[in-house]
Each structure stands twice: as structure tokens, then as C-alpha cells.
Amino acid sequence: MDQITHGADESTRLQAVQASVRTLAKTHDWFADAIRAAFDGYLVLGERFQRETMEFRESQRSPVRELLTRHLLTDPAAESVCVTCLVEGLCPIGLAERLAKHGRGKLPKALQRESAAAALAALDRGAIYQARDLPEKQGEAMAAEYRAAIAANTHSEYMRRVLVKPPETRDEPANPRSLDR
């Protein structure tokens, strides 16, 4: 194997290692068992990653939801450092037009209140739609409802920026599929 891998391109070296591992697994039962056990551990890591990712998203969503419930798009308690959270979803056409006319400046209270209510509805709908335990039929119905609202020209797709204080912990869960440590 050293002769093949020394100076070979990455793909050739990887194929040589793969062939060597397969040969070892065929000749040594304990080695094959160890590989299977390692894969079981990988599956456990994958499940933990999914759970921690959902918890991380919820930890990000909670302050945004609380802020939108107070009819605000920017956290007044946040000092100079803010985290921008994007809320994507449907927005009534009239509101989207008024927001587009107003630009990126500070919104009047009534427009901010209306925009926050639409963002909160989009946030809650997105949380339901992205839930892992959502029945397939319900997901299809929600997607059809979304497309119908756009086709009927009553709503448009809209992305709102909500500024909140940075969370205490900002570490994302380690992805077992990543090559990063």
C-alpha cells in the first residue's frame, strides 16, 4: 500500500486505503466488529447533532419571538452589538408595499407594530413547517396554502431583519458530517 499511496493523488490513496480496510475486515472479525461499532457511534452523534441543532435554533428563536410579541423589530436593550436574525415568510401585499416605500430607516410605531405581527406569524408558521415531527400531509397542505396566497396576490414572500442582543452562548453544535474538529 505504501508504494501505491506514496506520491499518488488523493483519490488513488483513498481507494488504496479503502481496499486495505476491506481486506482487513474480511480477514479479521474483530476489526469488522469495531468498524460496525464505530458506525453505531456515528449514528448516535448524528442524533445528538440533530437534537442540539433544534435546541440551538430554539434558543435563537426565543428572543426573536419575545421581541416580536412586544411589537418591536429591534431590541432596545441591545447596546452597540446586535445579532441580525432573518424571519422569512409571507407578508400581506399592502404591508410589504408600505415597508418598501419606507426604506430601511426607523419605522413609525404603527407600521413597526404591523410588521412585527406579520413577522411573528411567519416565525410561528416557519417553526411548525420546519418541525421534524410534522406529518407529511400537513406539510404539503401548508406548502399549498403558502403557494396559493402568493398566487392569489394577497401575500408576498418577505424577509424581515430583527435585531436582538447576542445570546450568551453562540457555539453551534458540532456536525459529525463536517471535517472540522
pLDDT at 2 over 80: no
pLDDT digit string, tens, across residues 123-132: 999 888 888 7
Q: Give residue 169's pLDDT.
A: 63
Q: Give residue 142's pLDDT.
A: 92
Per DSSP, the three-state class of 161 is: strand
Q: How far is 136 from 48, CA to CA, in rounded Å? A: 23
Q: Give residue 27's pLDDT.
A: 94
Q: How far is 37 from 43, CA to CA, in rounded Å? A: 10
* Count of C-beta atoms within a 10 Å radius of residue 91: 23
Q: Give residue 181's pLDDT.
A: 62
| Lowest model confidence (mean pLDDT) among 91-100, 140-149, 157-166 | 157-166
pLDDT at 108 over 60: yes
Residue found by looking up cell 481496499 in the block:
19
Q: Give residue 10's pLDDT.
A: 86
Per DSSP, the three-state class of 167 is: coil
pLDDT at 5 over 60: no
Each domain of the chain, given as residue ranges in start order, spans: 7-45, 49-164
pLDDT at 148 over 60: yes
Q: pLDDT: is 169 or 51 the higher one?
A: 51
Q: Give residue 128's pLDDT.
A: 87
Q: Give residue 80's pLDDT.
A: 67
**99 Cβ partners below 8 Å, 6+ apart?**
91, 107, 111, 115, 158
Q: Give residue 4's pLDDT.
A: 57
> What confidence category does residue 133 fall into, taking pLDDT thresholds of 50, 70 and 90?
confident
* Count of C-beta atoms within a 10 Å radius of residue 99: 19
